[in-house]
């Protein structure tokens, strides 16, 4: 996984946290990362407004600028579930034979079981730009594509 993919994968957690704050979404249906491009698909009961989607982008970039710590814990599955409940899971299951989970958390923002590599802080991600999003009413799924632009010295290019 490249440095761009580490930043983009970490951005998934930032975008998911922002979507939850703005829209109340909880469950991720799927994700995709390739270099500086990502896609987050979340379960949501209605089509959001353009203003709500702009607010998600704004909150995500605010969190990036905060330079918040990305915490990664390795916990026994039972301990992770006791500590975080079902917050660590998505709609795609983790096989039951996996007994140790890596849990990624951005305190007060997002927590997820995730076995990918992440940045150490949110500032390392760079600027997040949400692209043309799409709501699939028949499946009640919101597709949120985004791009991550690298930064130099904490300033977006």
Q: For the chain, list the domains and their CATH numbers.
A: 3-156 (3.30.980.10)
| pLDDT tens digit sequence for 31-84 | 999 999 999 999 999 999 999 999 999 999 999 999 999 999 999 999 999 999
DSSP 3-state assignment of 26?
Answer: coil
Mean pLDDT of all residues in 126-155: 89
If pLDDT is split at 50, 70 and 90, which confidence band does 104 have? Answer: very high
- Taking the C-alpha atoms of residue 98 and residue 74, their distance in angstroms, rounded to an integer, is 12
If pLDDT is split at 50, 70 and 90, which confidence band does 154 have? Answer: very low
pLDDT at 157 over 50: no
pLDDT at 27 over 90: yes
- Taking the C-alpha atoms of residue 53 and residue 17, their distance in angstroms, rounded to an integer, is 13
If pLDDT is split at 50, 70 and 90, which confidence band does 156 have? Answer: very low
User: In the prediction, which pLDDT does 28 show?
Assistant: 95
User: In the prediction, which pLDDT does 1 show?
Assistant: 67
The end-to-end CA distance of the chain, in Å, is 22
For residue 106, how far is the Cα from the chain centroid?
10
Q: Which helix (H) or strand (E) holds 20?
A: helix 3-23
| pLDDT tens digit sequence for 117-137 | 999 999 999 999 999 999 999
Q: Are 124 and 16 in contact (CB under 8 A)?
A: no
State the average pLDDT for the chain. Answer: 93
């Amino acid at each position: 996984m490249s440095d761009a993919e580490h930043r983009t994968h970490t951005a998934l957690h930032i975008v998911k946290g922002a979507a939850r704050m703005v829209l109340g979404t909880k469950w991720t249906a799927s994700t995709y990362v390739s270099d500086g491009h990502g896609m987050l698909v979340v379960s949501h009961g209605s089509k959001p407004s353009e203003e709500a989607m702009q607010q998600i982008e704004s909150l995500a970039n605010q969190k990036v600028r905060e330079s918040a710590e990305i915490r990664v814990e390795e916990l026994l599955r039972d301990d992770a579930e006791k500590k975080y409940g079902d917050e660590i899971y998505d709609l795609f299951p983790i096989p039951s034979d996996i007994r140790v989970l890596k849990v990624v958390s951005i305190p007060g923002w997002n927590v997820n079981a995730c076995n990918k590599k992440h940045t150490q802080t949110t500032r390392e991600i760079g600027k997040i730009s949400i692209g043309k999003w799409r709501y699939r009413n028949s499946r009640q799924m919101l597709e949120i594509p985004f791009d991550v632009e690298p930064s130099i010295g904490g300033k977006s290019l």
